[in-house]
Amino acid sequence: MAELIPWLEFEAEYAENFSEKMGAPAKPFRMALGALIIKETLGISDRETVEQIKENPYLQYFIGLSEYSNTPPFEPSMMVYFRERIKMDFVKKINQKMVKDFQDESEANPTEEKKKKKRNWRN
């Protein structure tokens, strides 16, 4: 899933929420959206989300960390800010971009698309 989301494409739009002169440096877009996706996918609390990320190198990779660390990447209270900054309209825009990219890729390589569908049905 990490490869399907155009993280860098939306980083600048996410960064518009912040001032360079005020407050602590912002967490990257990939970390914020990734944490929200993990929380919703697993159906867990903010605190449990941070704990799961702390314990799981795959989840750490998903949110953009380059190496495993057993320390929390952020405080659970940051999840509130992630939700405030990533509104539903923004999520829709990301989803639309992902669908468009998928359709463009499918049209460009229909044979590979058939293979992907076949693999997905087996899982």
**Boundaries of every domain in the chain:** 1-86, 87-123
Give residue 6's pLDDT.
85
Give residue 113's pLDDT.
55
The model's pTM: 0.77
Give residue 79's pLDDT.
96
Give the whole-angstrom CA distance, residue 97 versus residue 5: 9
Give residue 72's pLDDT.
97
Give the whole-angstrom CA distance, residue 28 versus residue 7: 10
Give the whole-angstrom CA distance, residue 113 versus residue 105: 8
Give the whole-angstrom CA distance, residue 121 versus residue 73: 35
What are the tens digits of pLDDT across the range 19-33? 666 666 689 999 999
The low-confidence residues of the chain, meaning pLDDT below 50, are none
